[in-house]
Amino acid sequence: MRKKKRTSFLMIIIGSFLLVSQEILSFTLLYSKEKGKLSSTPSAPIITFQWDETSPIIDDLTEFSGQENIPVSPSEATKKIIEKAMDLWNNVRGSYVELKLSINNSAKINPEDSLHTIVVKTENSLTTAAFASPQMEEGTIYDCDIVITNDSTTSEQLLYTIAHELGHCLGLGHEHTNYKSLMGYSRSDYSAKLSVDDKAGLIYLYPDTNYARDSEEIHCANTPNQTTSRELWILLLLPFIMISIFIVFQNRLAKMNKTPLTT
């Protein structure tokens, strides 16, 4: 019996050390723990996506065009939506990457041309609104094509869809624990807003060291993807504390059971 208790105790200790020894991520990378990222660098931050001016069926086209003050044209609306999706990622403070849109009517899906492309196609076999196909070699995503299905959608849904797929091209995977994340595996709405986890993932992949050095606000938060030494110690000590409480409780219970009853 004592041997079994010691074995269980040892397994808990080993599990605790394995837990705190792993890098704690609040976001999900596209290629597990390998940093697959675009070729953007601090000195050359711009990554261009080519678009062939194709567009899906936008149900609220007139309303969206009026709100954005653009011509009532599917192509103009799609262009604006793609740019807004890119701005969501471009405006993350602490990240240097910058996405740009270029119009190329001959742009095609080709995983070997080392070009990033956005097209709208009729894909009868797909059940999703869009998909991205990142191609990586030696840690660099050298080609990422996004295919948007030519189905009926709203401007809000299209914005969310494109922003989500751009996240994959940037190197982020599906987040399974935070359903408010733009990269979340399942969402109850289509609000195109980046969560703290989305921003942390982007900064982790494309950290702007100048921002970290110059910002007066950076001291209020922990570095993305890291925990403080105090938090690590808490994680390490917590199992021991719980085990100690359990052992004390067991010992007291055993003593109570051995105490003879008096009349």
Average pLDDT estimate for 217-221: 36
Q: What integer is the mean pLDDT of 77-94?
A: 97
CATH of the domain at 135: 3.40.390.10
pLDDT digits (tens, 9 = 90+) for 109-146: 999 999 999 999 876 655 578 999 999 999 999 999 99
106, pLDDT greater than 80: yes
pLDDT on residue 153? 93
Q: Helix or strand or coil: residue 108?
A: coil
pLDDT bucket at 175, cuts 50 / 70 / 90: confident
Average pLDDT over residues 29-42: 82
Burial class (CB in 10 A: 0-12, 13-18, 19+), 226: middle
Instruction: Classify residue 186: in a domain, yes or no.
Output: yes
- Residue 220 has a pLDDT of 34
C-alpha triplet 224, 225, 229: angle, nearest 5°: 95
Domain encompassing residue 202: 37-219
Distance CA 18, CA 197 (A): 23
**pLDDT of 258 strictly over 70:** no
Question: pLDDT grade, residue 260 (50/70/90)?
Answer: low
- Considering its fold, how many domains does the chain have in total? 1
Q: Does 109 fall in a domain?
A: yes
Place of tokens 């080709």: 110
Q: Does residue 62 lie in a domain region?
A: yes
* 201 is a domain residue: yes
| 141-171: pLDDT as tens digits | 999 999 999 989 999 999 999 999 999 999 9
Residue 85 lies in a domain: yes
**Residue 53 belongs to a domain:** yes
Predicted pLDDT of residue 24:
46
Q: Confirm whether 27 is domain-assigned.
A: no
Q: Is residue 131, in this structure, part of any structural domain at all?
A: yes
Inform me whether the pLDDT recorded for 37 exceeds 90.
Answer: yes
Point out the least confidently predicted range of 9-18, 73-82, 90-99: 9-18
Q: Which residue has the tokens 């990586």?
A: 136
Calpha distance 245→178 (Å, rounded): 32
Residues paired with residue 134 on neighbouring β-strands, in sequence order: 144
**Between these two residues, 32 and 51, which has the higher pLDDT value?**
51
